[in-house]
Amino acid sequence: MDSGKRCLISIFVLFFSVELMWVVKGNVVFEVHHKYGGRGKGKAGLGELRAHDSRRHGRMLSAIDFQLGGDGSPTNAALYYTKITIGTPPVDYHVQVDTGSDILWVNCKNCDRCPTKSDLDIPLMQYDLTASSTGKTITCDQDFCDAAFTGPNPDCRAGMNCVYSVTYGDGSRTEGYFIRDYFRFDQVTGNLQTSTMNGSIAFGCSAKQGGELGSSSQAVDGIIGFGQANTSILSQLASSGKVKKIFSHCLDGIKGGGIFAIGEVVQPKVNRTRLVSNEAHYNVVLKSVEVGGQFLDLPTDEFDTGSSRGTIIDSGTTLAYLPAEVYQQLISKMMARQPNLQTHIVEKQFRCFWYNGNVDDGFPVVNFHFEDSLPLPVYPHDYLFEVQDTEYCIDIVLTDKLVVYDLENMTIGWAQYNCSSSIKVRDEASGNAYSVGAHNISSAIIMFEVNLISFLLVIATLLALTKGQI
């Protein structure tokens, strides 16, 4: 495998953790946990959520504004990151945003094979437990550890750390132990105004890295998982009554950065579709695919949501993850308007061609239709990216969409939106709706203009993933 390909695989790994396994570590036995093997925990998580709803009354529910930065161009590993602040005194870390995994982890002091420099030009930090007066290790007998491993660990003995190990699809891995410390965040307190709040959270302290995670290209301090499990920061803040389990992102396609917030979005209104419950990923039901006004002729069971099939919305991947049959039809319909174009393959996976002219005039609009009559229009400039002057490759790259993940009502919705403007989120404590604006920490930290920033929306099916088409 050439390095280009490995790099691209690491996109999916870092962003979407195609497969996550808990492995045997020392004398602590953890169950092997495949993300797509059906997360039994999903149910428990929801029960837990409902239980918390009643406890939540009278508590302060905030909206949180996260700074966002990054470079989402598909050839550049589609990296978005946010700045988080942990510990006393507080230290800032830059962590990759990942809707496909469930824990936050950061590199820990003296970790083995941790990156020491980043091509992103961000200062890399390592969490130092001895330097934070509020940090404590989590032991294997604590509730959080049980939650992380879906049950008590029979081999747990007094004082033993709660150890984790995550292996990603390309063999990249991180392992370490859980810590509890203060987490600071920017609570939305007015229009484009925030103030610092804190909460205690459990997160992974990575002691060892393997594979791409330790390399300097695209290196960040860790990954923040925005998955549905109750080990996520979102779930932890929600269960302590601080926030509602709703988050949204809007990634700026032109300037970079964008909006990333926790809280109920009141403006703009988005149309929604049901999230399939008890699934590891954010699964939705895709009903049909329309290319230039013509519906693809798909077998009716293609988008079934049974245990092995379903459509996933995630913060990134490519059309190549569609089942081969759907992908082929889609490509041939997309290219039908330009019968004379010759395509070639770049980096072993992108189908590319040379084209002079405006792609929006030369290629059809693709419309994915989801349950609840929710369309997702994808324009030629979204699915064709220009790798160099007049050379275009096919990949679904959606910019300027506000995507709202509402885990309270189990829906996901989106709307075409200007991601360098602002949205309004509700402050539950006062009932007011406040504006949250776009940020771009990349431009502050990275001293050069980031190229195309975009939002990758995954439309993949479990079928393709279970077939292992990576």
Residues near ligand NAG (CB under 6 A): 44, 48, 88, 134, 143-144, 146-147, 182, 198, 230-231, 235-236, 239, 269-271, 409, 415, 418, 420-421
Least separation in angstroms between CB 342 and ligand NAG: 35
Dihedral (Cα; 65, 71, 72, 74), 10-degree rounding: -170
Query: Residue 180 or 333: which CB sits closer to ligand NAG?
Result: 180
Minimum Å distance from CB 418 to ligand NAG? 4
| Residue 256 vs residues 66, 140, 221, 289: alpha-carbon distances, Å | 14, 41, 20, 29
**Is residue 244 a contact partner of residue 405, using CB atoms and an 8 Å limit?**
no
Whose Cβ is closer to ligand NAG: residue 194's or residue 198's?
198
> Cβ–Cβ contacts within 10 Å for residue 4, how many?
14
Name the strand (E) or helix (H) holding 365. none
118/239 with CB nearer ligand NAG: 239
Q: How far is the CB of 254 from ligand NAG (least distance, A)?
A: 8
- Is-contact 81 69, C-beta < 8 A? yes
**Residue the block writes with tokens 């290209």:** 217
Nearer Cβ to ligand NAG (100/241): 241
Angle at 70 between CA 235 and CA 395, to 5 degrees: 95
Task: Tell the smallest beta-carbon distance from residue 381 to ligand NAG (Å).
Answer: 14
Give which of 222, 231, 122 is closest to 176, Cα–Cα. 222
314 as an active site residue: the answer is yes
- Given the complex with ligand NAG, which of 148 and 464 has the nearer CB atom? 148
How far is the C-alpha of 79 from the C-alpha of 258, rounded, in Å? 13
With 0-12 CB in 10 A as exposed, 13-18 as middle and 19+ as buried, what is 308?
middle
Whichever of 180 and 351 has its CB closer to ligand NAG, that residue is 180
Whole-angstrom CA distances from 99 to 115, 246, 354, 417 are 23, 13, 34, 20
| Catalytic position from the list 181, 314, 395, 427 | 314
Q: Residue 316 corresponds to which tokens in the numbers above?
A: 């990134």
Most distant CA pair in the chain, distance: 70
Shortest separation between residue 327's beta carbon and ligand NAG, angstroms: 26
Nearest distance from C-beta of residue 294 to ligand NAG, angstroms: 21
Catalytic residue flag (residue 92):
no
How far is CA 450 from its chain centroid?
Answer: 20
Mind telling me the catalytic residues? 98, 314
